[in-house]
Homo-oligomer: A and B are copies of this chain.
């Protein structure tokens, strides 16, 4: 299953039970978990894992570029394990559900130099807002 673990080991990551569990949680289903949800799932596999470790590990994975932080709402960061396939997000304004989407077009190209204010622009995030079919009928 996990080439994620392989990649991490290859980069000299010290492998511990806690880190393996966090990596497995993220590698499991490709949903967008909050830090607390990751912690909850990690505790299910390894009851004595602490909150600080989960936060630390998530931060390290982000630094390594293995997962992405998503700031779709303002409540909590979410972590997106699908870092190796560029994509954007479609968020339900009511229930908060998040879908990955792959729009056409290239937003980076749409930003002319005159609108860059001297910034070195390195990336772009696109967040579509709407209402999901579930919430629309409710």
Contacts and interface: CB of A to CB of B under 8 A. Distances in A.
Identical chains bound together, number: 2
Contact of A74 (B76, B116, B133): B76
A101 interface: yes
Interface string A26-57: 00000000000000000000000000000000
A72 B115 CA distance: 18
Interface in A71-115: 71-74, 76-77, 90, 92-93, 99, 101-105, 107-112, 115
A127 to B, nearest CB: 5
Given A71-B74, A103-B107, A103-B115, 5 more contacts: A74-B76, A101-B117, A111-B128, A117-B132, A122-B131
